[in-house]
């Protein structure tokens, strides 16, 4: 019995170790980002410039265009060698070859060549009756009177958001993974703390609890270290999710401490007594708060 | 994100967007989500029988009721790099009299430009103001946006945008 329990604990340990290894590995091979600003010879920004990047290894191309502030941002690029082509109506085309490494953000600013004389094109005949036009009477974004800080691109904030989302995705996955040993730990507690319990049962419960704790704190790390976005007020279900952390966080610290005391008492043949008798109730409250936190962002109540 | 057009009979006149509510709808296997913005601004100018309309709304202005979800939305739509949704369309002044209007829209969003042909809108005119309602059949793939996922399940590609606008002549 003891041998089988030990094998089971070892198996769980190996699986969890693989899971722990897999998450950082995923982060290490993160995709690359290419961004920059496109200007004309006078230094003025060029909105709607076309940026095309072609992976020289796979031949796959990705396109985007600059926004009203002349900025572009291409994300989720597989690390490798690329040919970058930047062009805009009335300007020449800039071509550059770059090497993108995993997780890196490369900035390529381009000053396009002077405008070229444009041939007079005949009116389009295939436009639908109310298709968007290039009429000189068209209102512009400036006509709408938005404050400049609302219309201008903020590459730094985008990078902050990208990092935040990346870390919270790992937080989410690790939280789900943590649920498995957490449930198993609670389930095995029935055989670990009663009058007629075996050493093997306590060992199994202890091992599962240790795995749960390790995964939990990795999960918490990615939430705590995810960058905050200035000026953002916390609203909605995420407030409850965060509030629950003030319960399951301390609980995840207290539960193993109380558990260690209880384990020691049981190993000496004593009945669990004193502060150690709070191990079970604290663990249940902790697991409940963790589950509530998970549900609060998963299901709409 | 959207546009619609007043029944424009103003030769060389202008239209101003007085009130606007834009609502996007996102479907996930576990729940449905809506994000609302009242921050759109718009203007229309008419000349030589044609009216050009422009409507813009900050991506940040959409509120789904959860700040975490809104930040993820901002990230996945590259809302800091491309902070505005911009909609353009043109209508002939002669299209003014009907109760419905099929509009071609050009929408810039998330660094991409998508065109929607013949999107139906309903028009009601009261006291010189034109109230316009309709739904734009937008999708994530139109703007090359990777569908965000929750609990490993991605949201649906369709993100219809409900448009309610009130325009008045200037």
A142 found inside a domain: no
* Same domain membership, residue A189 and residue A85: no
Residue B164 is part of a domain; what is its CATH number? 2.40.128.110
Asked which of A22-36, A109-123, A130-144, A262-276 is least confident by mean pLDDT, the reply is A109-123
Domain ranges, residue B91 = 14-169
Q: Do B81 and A232 touch (CB under 8 A)?
A: no
Report how far residue B101's alpha carbon sits from residue A56's, in angstroms, rounded to the nearest whole number. Answer: 47
pLDDT tier for residue A18 given thresholds of 50, 70 and 90:
very low
Note whether residue A140 is domain-resident. Answer: no
For residue A212, give the DSSP letter: H
Q: Are residues A104 and A49 in the same domain?
A: yes
DSSP-H helix ranges across chain A:
2-28, 148-151, 155-192, 199-225, 237-267, 279-296
Q: Would B91 be classed as within a structural domain?
A: yes
Q: Is residue B6 part of a domain?
A: no
Per-residue confidence (pLDDT) for residue B8, from 0 to 100: 43
Closest CA of chain B from A248, distance in Å: 20
Can you give the pLDDT at residue A6?
43
Percent residues over pLDDT 90 in chain A? 34
Report how far Cα A158 is from the mean position of its chain's Cα atoms: 13
Same domain, A183 and A238: yes
Assess whether A281 and A214 both reside in one domain: yes
What pLDDT is stored for residue B97 in this prediction? 65
Q: Are residues A69 and A20 in the same domain?
A: no
Q: Please indicate, yes or no, if residue A248 is contained in any of the structural domains.
A: yes
Tokens found for residue B118: 């013949």
Domain count, chain B: 1
Q: Are residues A22 and A162 in the same domain?
A: yes
Of A157 and B94, more confident: A157
Residues A200 and A169 placed together within one structural domain of the fold: yes
Residue A183 is part of which domain span? 2-26+158-296
Q: Are residues A246 and A196 in the same domain?
A: yes
* Residue A301: band (very low, low, confident or very high) from pLDDT cuts 50, 70, 90: low
Q: What is d(CA A9, CA B136) in angstroms, rounded to the nearest whole number?
A: 55
pLDDT tens digits, A48-60: 888 888 887 777 7
Q: Is residue B74 part of a domain?
A: yes
pLDDT at position A118 is 35
> Does a structural domain hold residue B4?
no
Q: What is the pLDDT of residue A196?
A: 65
Look at residue A301 and tell me if it is in a domain.
no
Domain count of the fold of chain A = 2
Task: State which residues of chain B have pLDDT below 50.
Answer: 1-10
The DSSP H or E segment spanning B75 is helix B67-76
Give me the pLDDT at residue B59, please.
Answer: 96
Question: How buried is residue A188: exposed, middle or buried, by Cβ count under 10 Å (0-12/13-18/19+)?
Answer: buried
Contact by Cβ (8 Å): A238, B67 = yes
- CA pair distance A38, A167, nearest whole angstrom: 30
C-alpha A105 chain-centroid distance = 16
Q: Which of A114, A146, A173 is the last residue of a domain?
A: A114
Residues A287-296 pLDDT 10s: 999 999 998 8
Query: Is the CB of residue B95 less than 8 Å away from at least one CB of chain A?
Result: yes
Q: Are B80 and A67 within 8 A, CB to CB?
A: no
Instruction: Count Cβ neighbours within 10 Å for each residue of A60-72 and write b for 16 or more, e otherwise.
Output: eebebbbbbbbbb
pLDDT of A13 reads 46
Could you give the CA distance from residue A240 to residue A289 in angstroms, rounded to a whole number? Answer: 10
Residue A90 CA to residue A102 CA, distance in Å, equals: 35
pLDDT in tens, B119-132: 999 998 888 888 99
Q: Are A50 and A79 within one domain?
A: yes
Q: Is A141 a member of any domain?
A: no
Based on the fold, state whether residues A68 and A19 are members of the same structural domain: no
What pLDDT, on a 0 to 100 scale, did the predictor assign at position A210? 95
Residue B156 domain flag = yes
> Is residue A265 within 8 Å of residue A272, measured between CB atoms?
yes
* Residue-wise pLDDT tens digits, A226-253: 999 888 888 888 999 999 999 999 999 9
Q: Which residue has the tokens 């070892």?
A: A10
Query: To probe the interface with B, which of A34, A50, A139 has the most B CB atoms within 10 Å?
Result: A139
Q: Does B103 touch chain A (CB under 8 A)?
A: yes
* Among candidate residues B33, B96, B93, the one with its CA nearest the CA of residue B65: B33
Q: What does residue A169 show for φ and ψ, rounded to 5 degrees?
A: -65, -45
Instruction: Tell me: pLDDT of A158 over 80.
Output: yes
Q: How far is A26 from chain B (nearest CA, A)?
A: 15
- pLDDT for residue A16: 45
Does B2 map to a domain? Answer: no
Put simply, whether A45 touches B (Cβ < 8 Å) is no
Q: Which one of A114, A144, A172 terminates a domain?
A: A114
A143 in reach of chain B (CB within 8 A) = yes
Which of A81, A114, A147 is the last residue before a domain boundary?
A: A114
Joined together, the tokens standing for residue A124 give 């389009």
Residue A125 lies in a domain: no
Q: Do B52 and A139 touch (CB under 8 A)?
A: yes
Say if residue A298's pLDDT is above 90: no
Same domain, A219 and A188: yes
- CATH number of the domain residue A56 falls in: 2.60.40.1120
A167 and A286 assigned to the same domain: yes
- For strands B14-27 and B161-169, give the pairing: antiparallel
- A149 falls in which pLDDT band (50, 70, 90)? confident
φ, ψ for residue A186 (rounded to 5)?
-65, -40
Statement: residue A131 has pLDDT above 60: no
pLDDT confidence bin for A19, thresholds 50/70/90: very low
Residue A32 has pLDDT above 90, yes or no: no
Q: Does A153 touch chain B (CB under 8 A)?
A: yes
């Amino acid at each position: 019995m003891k041998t089988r329990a030990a094998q089971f604990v070892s198996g769980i340990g190996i699986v969890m170790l693989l899971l722990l290894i897999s998450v950082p590995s995923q982060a290490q091979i993160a995709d690359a980002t290419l961004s920059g600003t496109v200007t004309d010879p006078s230094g003025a920004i060029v909105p709607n410039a076309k940026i095309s990047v072609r992976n020289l290894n796979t031949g796959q191309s990705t396109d985007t265009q600059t926004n009203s502030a002349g900025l572009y941002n291409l994300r989720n690029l597989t690390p490798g060698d690329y040919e970058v082509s930047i062009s805009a109506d009335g300007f020449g085309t800039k071509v550059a070859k770059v090497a993108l490494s995993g997780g890196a953000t490369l900035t390529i600013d381009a000053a396009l060549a002077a405008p070229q004389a444009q041939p007079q094109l005949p009116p389009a005949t295939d436009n639908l009756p109310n298709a968007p036009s290039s009429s000189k009477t068209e209102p512009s974004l400036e006509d709408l009177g938005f404050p400049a800080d609302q219309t201008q691109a903020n590459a730094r904030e985008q990078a902050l958001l990208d990092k935040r989302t990346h870390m919270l995705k790992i937080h989410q996955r690790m939280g789900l993974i943590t649920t498995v040993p957490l449930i198993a730990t609670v389930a095995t507690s029935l055989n670990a703390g009663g009058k007629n319990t075996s050493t093997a049962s306590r060992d199994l419960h202890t091992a599962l609890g240790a795995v749960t704790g390790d995964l939990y704190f990795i999960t918490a790390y990615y939430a705590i270290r995810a960058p905050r976005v200035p000026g953002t007020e916390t609203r909605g279900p995420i407030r409850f999710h965060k509030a629950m952390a003030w319960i399951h966080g301390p609980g995840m610290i207290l539960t193993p401490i109380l558990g260690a005391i209880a384990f020691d008492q049981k190993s000496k043949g004593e009945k669990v007594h004193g502060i150690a008798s709070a191990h079970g109730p604290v663990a249940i409250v902790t697991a409940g708060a963790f589950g509530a936190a998970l549900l609060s962002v998963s299901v709409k109540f | 994100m959207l546009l619609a057009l007043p029944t424009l009979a103003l030769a060389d006149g202008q239209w101003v967007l007085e009130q606007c509510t834009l609502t996007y709808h996102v479907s996930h296997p576990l729940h449905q989500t809506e994000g609302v913005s009242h921050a759109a601004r718009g203007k229309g100018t008419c000349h030589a029988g044609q009216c050009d309309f422009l409507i813009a709304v900050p991506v940040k202005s959409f509120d789904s009721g959860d700040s975490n979800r809104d930040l993820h939305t901002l990230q996945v739509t590259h809302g800091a790099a491309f902070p505005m949704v911009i909609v353009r369309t043109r209508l002939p002044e002669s299209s003014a009299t009907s109760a419905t209007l099929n509009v071609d829209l050009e929408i810039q969003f998330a660094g991409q430009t998508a065109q929607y042909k013949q999107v139906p809108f309903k028009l009601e005119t009261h006291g010189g103001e034109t109230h316009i309602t309709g739904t734009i059949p937008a999708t994530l793939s139109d703007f090359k946006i990777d569908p965000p996922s929750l609990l490993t399940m991605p949201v649906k590609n369709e993100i219809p945008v409900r448009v309610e606008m009130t325009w008045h002549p200037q």
